Amino acid sequence: MLNLSYRNILLVFVICFVPTFCQAQANYDGQVIDKATEDPIPGVNVTLIKERIGTQTNKRGYFELSSEKPLPEDTLQFSFVGYKTFKLPVSQYQSQTFISLEADNIQLNEIRIANKKKIKDITLGKFTYYDLKDFGNATSGHHTEFIVNRTILAKFFIAPKANIILRKISLGRQDFPSSPTFAIRNANTNFLIHIILQDTLTGTPGKSIYSTMVSLNDNAAFVDIDLDTAKIVIPKTNFFIAIEWKNNPYNEIIAVNNAQKVARTTKRGWQITKDASEYRVYYQPFLVGYDNEKTLKRALLYTKVNNKWQVCTQYHTGDLALSATVHY
């Protein structure tokens, strides 16, 4: 008969589990952008220097790199032709981080500025990468909010003139909030975008002039949707851009919250409870709300209830990270 003392049992426990802890996997993800223009940079080389593994950013500047044997003193390196190499110690890494690369020479910036002058574009409802960061700092008055599980949400825009061309829609999204004890992360999502004219009588969203399905397969926080090939002409100055959520398994995020469940009730009416897990299903994308410190105005948002448009009163922040770039 095997007789193990407390010390021996503890030793066995340490021997069995220490290797597991030492080999814990680490995941790094985020977006790489141009410091001057804030445009995503595709094709950036992202490398863990000591471990000697790497990847490249996709067309949205998004990267995701997994380390099977993370080294605490390792460094993430970001390099691309025409930009200064940037190094970030893994000890300073934050989930869904933004990396701003600075142009390596003045000529590169001069070319970009010259090209921008030739195109008469304006971005309505413009937001920045700064607006997407969740600071949680009460003194700055800046915070973010998740918009989830709505059927459809429309934001109001005013163009500088009629018959403008809609070139691009940008939206800000975040990963699942940290309040549930556990959530299954899902990078895949699809949703509908609608371009809707304002009803002149009611002021609410009226006739839809364009709709398209958008599919994403990464967790990029800043998403550009290129509409140049669609050649969308908006005949009036007042219009809405609407996001329609699709409640399908492809978009599901499964979350688990700790909850109490009544196990039985005594004769005196006392309820005996026990711990129970509460499962909830949320649907992507999670759009970001932020305090618009530039205009100090709240965005005019509408949502559909019983197939009727009404002002969205549950939205407490200043603006929604949804913009429209137009050409005129």
- Looking at the structure of the chain, the number of domains it has is 2
Residues 238-258, mean pLDDT to the nearest whole number: 87
* Residue 5 pLDDT grade (very low, low, confident, very high; cuts 50, 70, 90): very low
Read off the CATH number of the domain in which 13 is found. Answer: 2.60.40.1120
Is residue 258, in this structure, part of any structural domain at all? Answer: no
pLDDT digits (tens, 9 = 90+) for 160-199: 999 999 999 999 988 776 566 677 778 889 999 999 999 9
In this structure, the answer to whether residues 56 and 197 fall within a common structural domain is: no
Contacts of 252 (CB under 8 A, 6+ apart): 186, 281, 282, 283
In this structure, the answer to whether residues 158 and 73 fall within a common structural domain is: no
Domain closes at, from 68, 101, 134? 101
In this structure, the answer to whether residues 18 and 142 fall within a common structural domain is: no
| pLDDT, greater one: 97 or 279 | 97
3-state secondary structure of 179: coil
Q: Is the pLDDT of residue 251 over 60?
A: yes
In this structure, the answer to whether residues 158 and 241 fall within a common structural domain is: yes
Q: Any idea what the Cα angle at residue 230 is, between residues 224 and 235, rounded to 5°?
A: 100
pLDDT digits (tens, 9 = 90+) for 22-61: 457 889 999 999 998 888 999 999 999 999 999 999 999 9
Q: Is the pLDDT of residue 139 over 90?
A: no
In this structure, the answer to whether residues 88 and 174 fall within a common structural domain is: no
Is residue 275, in this structure, part of any structural domain at all? Answer: no
> Is residue 242 within 8 Å of 154, Cβ to Cβ?
yes
Is residue 36, in this structure, part of any structural domain at all? Answer: yes
In this structure, the answer to whether residues 185 and 212 fall within a common structural domain is: yes
In this structure, the answer to whether residues 183 and 323 fall within a common structural domain is: yes
In this structure, the answer to whether residues 129 and 218 fall within a common structural domain is: yes
pLDDT at 60: 93
Residues 264-275, mean pLDDT to the nearest whole number: 65
C-alpha closest to that of 215 among 206, 225, 205, 207 = 225
**What residue numbers bound the domain in which 47 lies?**
6-101
Is residue 273, in this structure, part of any structural domain at all? Answer: no
Read off the CATH number of the domain in which 188 is found. Answer: 2.60.120
Is residue 216, in this structure, part of any structural domain at all? Answer: yes
| pLDDT, greater one: 313 or 132 | 132
Domain closes at, from 39, 74, 101? 101
Give the count of beta carbons closer than 10 Å to the beta carbon of residue 143: 16
In this structure, the answer to whether residues 168 and 201 fall within a common structural domain is: yes
In this structure, the answer to whether residues 80 and 163 fall within a common structural domain is: no
Is residue 272, in this structure, part of any structural domain at all? Answer: no
CA-based R_g, the chain, Å: 25
Is residue 97, in this structure, part of any structural domain at all? Answer: yes
In this structure, the answer to whether residues 208 and 292 fall within a common structural domain is: yes
pLDDT digits (tens, 9 = 90+) for 203-231: 999 999 999 999 999 989 999 999 999 99
Give the count of beta carbons closer than 10 Å to the beta carbon of residue 130: 12
Q: Give alpha helix (H) positions in 207-293.
A: none
In this structure, the answer to whether residues 58 and 155 fall within a common structural domain is: no
pLDDT at 207: 96
Is residue 111, in this structure, part of any structural domain at all? Answer: no
